Structures are given as C-alpha cells and as structure tokens.
Structure 1
Amino acid sequence: MPANQKIKVASFLAQLPLFNELEETELAQIAEHTTELHVAKGDRIFERGDPCTGFHTVVYGRVKLFFTSSQGNEKVVEIIGPGHSFGEALMFMNKPYIVTAQAVADTMLLHVAKDAIMNEIERHPGFACKMLAGLSRRLHGLICDVEAYSLNSGTQRVIGYLLKEIQQDGEKVDLPTSKTVVASRLNLTPEHFSRILHDLAEQSFIEVNGREITIVSVEKLRTYDK
C-alpha cells in the first residue's frame, strides 16, 4: 500500500481477529474513535513514560518495542508486523508506556482509543473474551522468550526464530529489519548473531544474502543440536 494512501478504517478493523465478529454499526463506532498514523522509518511513535490512551495496530511496515538500559544499551522486546497490535495491557492498567516504540520501516498505524474499546466490552461479552485471549497469547509469548533466553543456546534461539518464520524447504526468510535489531530481539550481540548465521551457512543449513535467508532443509535445521 503506498504511503499516505487512505484506507477504510472499519473495513480494515473487520479483518482483524479481534474485531471480526462485530456488526457493521459496532465497527463504525470504533472507527470513529480510531486515528490513522503515518510514521517514517526511524521516527518514534511513543516514548517510555508517555500516557497510554489506547492501542495501536499495524497496517503496513514494522515497529520495534524496546527499552534502553542505564548504560545506554538498547534491548528490543518485540518486533510488530502488519495485522498485529500492541499496547492493550497498559491501556487496561491505566499505566504509562514501559517501552519505546519506533518504526523500523515506513509504517502506517491505526490508534484505537481506549474509550471505544471500553464501551464495546460493556456491550459485547464475546469481544471482551477475544481481548483477553489476545493478552494471554502475548503473555505466553513473553514467557516462552524468557524460557528461551534462560535455557537455549544462541544457536538454538536463532534456529527457533528461523523455523518460526518459515516452514518449507527452499523458502526464504526476509529479516523484517536490520540484523542488529533482530539480534537484540533474540538477546544476542550483533556479532554473535552474524557468527551463528555464518556457521549455519558453512554447514549448508541456510544460505545468507544480506537480510534474505534461504532455509536449505527445514528438517535438518529442526534436528540440529548444538
């Protein structure tokens, strides 16, 4: 979708799992409280400590959620792609953002206001259940991340990431952003991440061409243990 192209907000929301059971009138009400945002690559959407007045969903582009340590080191918590949302939990907790959000590509977002969500939850119990399910999936994903960082080697983390992105032999994984950002997401240094990719390529498990990675054999990669 070209930058600055307008979309039909209600139609887009209807395609998202969270909203796909709502009636047209209900979607129209939420759309009235939804703001369309165009963010250039490198621009920040919000800063840690800013008030959370709703949640965002990505139409196109990519957003990284990160925080910066007292030493100035950046830790990427998550990379959000098209069709996915972020910020729901803090919206319900009435807490400020605990991470910073930055576009890593030219990005279009929809910001859905908190009041519209709260009104819909009161009218539509099924909607509340879907929102709860989405938050539970996010929590489960974070727990899996902690487990991977604690128990898996760097190579296992990289392999897990690649397998999550692709399922068929000969297919390609296009890294959604720079190797530095992906490395941070996997709790690795950029140098360690590049070294792991190099080692896997030398053993003919993958082929690397810039940010494009071809999986030579999914089965061999899945059974690789190091």
Structure 2
Amino acid sequence: MAAVQGNGTSGSIDVIASLRQTAVFADLQESDLQRLAQGCRIEHYERGNILFHKGDACHGFHLVLSGQVKLAFVSAAGNQKVVEIIRPGQTFGEAVMFMQKPYVLMAQALTECRLLFIAKDAIFQEMREAPEFCQRLIAGLAMRLHNLIKDLEIYSLCSGRERIICYLLGEMSDEEGNTPSGRVEICLPTHKGTIASRLNLTQEHFSRVLHELADDGLIAVDGRRIVVPDTADLHASLSGGRG
C-alpha cells in the first residue's frame, strides 16, 4: 500500500515545489500552481508495491519524483512483458486519463518510490485556463508515442545484440541524446531480467550477449556495473557482429 502525503499546508508546499521542477508545469504562474496543487498528492511506495492493475479505473496520472516504476503486461499465467521503465522527471498514465478508460497494464515500484499524483479534474481545469499548458501536454504525449515507435522499430529490425548495444548507449547519453566519448561506466537501473523483458529478450539471451560483448573487449561486466572502455568502439560494433 502507498503512504500518502496530502495537500495540506506543508504538503501543498512540497507539491508546488515538485510541480515547478517539472518541464510541463514549470511555466505556470504561482497562482496556477497553487490551484493545481489542490488536486495533487505525494505518494510513497515501497519496492514491489503495485500502483495499479490492468482494469483499474484511472483518476489521473503520476509524475515520478524519485525511484523507478515498471509498466508491464501480465499474462494469465503470471508472465510479464515490461513495456517501459519510468524514471524521475517522467510521467505515466496521461493517455489513459484522457481516454477515460481503465488502465491497460499494471504499474509496480521497482525501487522505493516517491510519486506525485495529479488528479484528472485538476488537469482538465488547468487546460481550460491555459492553452500553452495543453501544448506541453500534447508534446509530452507525442514524445511518448515517438519513443514507442522507435522501440517497435528496434524490436522488429534489430538483433538482440543490437538492441542491447543501443540500450547501453542510451543509458550513457544525455537528455539531447549525445553519447560521451572514451571510457564510460554505467550502472544498470534494475535487475537484468526486467531490462531483458523491456528489450523483448529472455534473460538468458540478455546475459549471453553481455558475455559476448565482454569477450569482444567492448564492455566489462561486474554485476549491474558495466564499464565501456571506448564508446566509439561500442557504437561501431552496431554494423556487425552476432545476433
């Protein structure tokens, strides 16, 4: 179960500060933020807690303040297909909120999480008050769709090795998609089985490709810690190699 921090005096201050640090809300006036904060609450989840199940009613969307959340489909047999891993500064649930449909997948806390829940009534009210706010919401949804299309392209056209290399390069890239040069050390954000599912691979396939990349001298693996001796070599290896 979630521990919920309401929107009383101290809670409202925390909510407004969280809204102000997020791109979609950053340009709102103080009066707008105060009004929006009345429809928000801060929620805390322990690792493994379920935020919602497929079929649950959607009453708003979430902004991740800290931690990570997994979005996944679950089969009748209990098998999961991870669709997305949501990180701090990212939101989820907007599309379902606008469609006014139940959730089509489940959400689970991968780590201890601090989230901001924004009620749909508060969002709809703000959209009526500020057309620019509507544009930012649409831009965010368009970027989510763009990323999903990119994922579909990678899953359909790229080998397992290429998917993993693209993932590693993405993990070390900045917000503009620029990859640093030379030696880079990264830490996988969650366990390998979750990342493998995200890439539409089995955990065994994921681990095998990591070992192959290590044997080729392109990476060094120590648990979830991965060292890339030269990012240029790793990027160049996309043009060939095993599947």
**TM-score bracket relative to the smaller structure:** over 0.9
Q: CA deviation at 1:9?
A: 1.1
Partners of 2:153 and 2:142 in 1: CA distance: 16
From 198, 201, 217, the equivalent of 2:230 is 217
- Aligned residue for 1:109, secondary structure, equals strand
- Of 68, 71, 78, which aligns to 1:72? 78
- Structure 1 residue 216: deviation in Å? 1.2
Q: Which runs of 4+ in 1 moved over 4 A?
A: 3-7
- The Cα shift of 1:32 comes to 1.4
What is the SS of the residue equivalent to 1:148? Answer: helix
- The two structures have a TM-score, normalised by structure 1, of 0.95
State the match for 2:161 in structure 1.
155
Matched, 1:170 2:176: no
For structure 2, list consecutive stretches of 5 or more residues without a partner in the other structure: 6-10, 173-178
Partner residue in 1 for 2:176: none
Distance between the aligned counterparts of 2:155 and 2:64, measured in 1?
A: 27
Work out whether 1:21 is the aligned partner of 2:27: yes
**Equivalent pair of 2:20/2:26 in contact (CA under 8 Å):** yes
Alignment of 1:34-53 (within 5 A): 34-53=40-59
Which TM-score applies when normalising by structure 2? 0.89
Query: Percent same amino acid at aligned positions?
Result: 48
Across the aligned residues of Structure 1 and Structure 2, the Cα RMSD in angstroms comes to: 1.5
> What is the aligned length?
224
Partner Cα separation in structure 2 for residue 155 and residue 65 of structure 1: 23
Q: Distance in 2 between matches of 1:112 and 1:119?
A: 12
Structure-to-structure mapping, 1:1-226, within 5 angstroms: 8-166=14-172, 167-168=179-180, 169-224=182-237, 225-226=240-241
> Aligned-pair distance for 1:4?
9.2
2:84 match: secondary structure: strand
Q: Is the 8 A contact 2:54 2:106 kept in 1?
A: yes
5+ long unaligned stretches in structure 1: none
Q: CA–CA distance in 2 between the matches of 1:70 and 1:101?
A: 16
SS of corresponding position for 1:147: helix
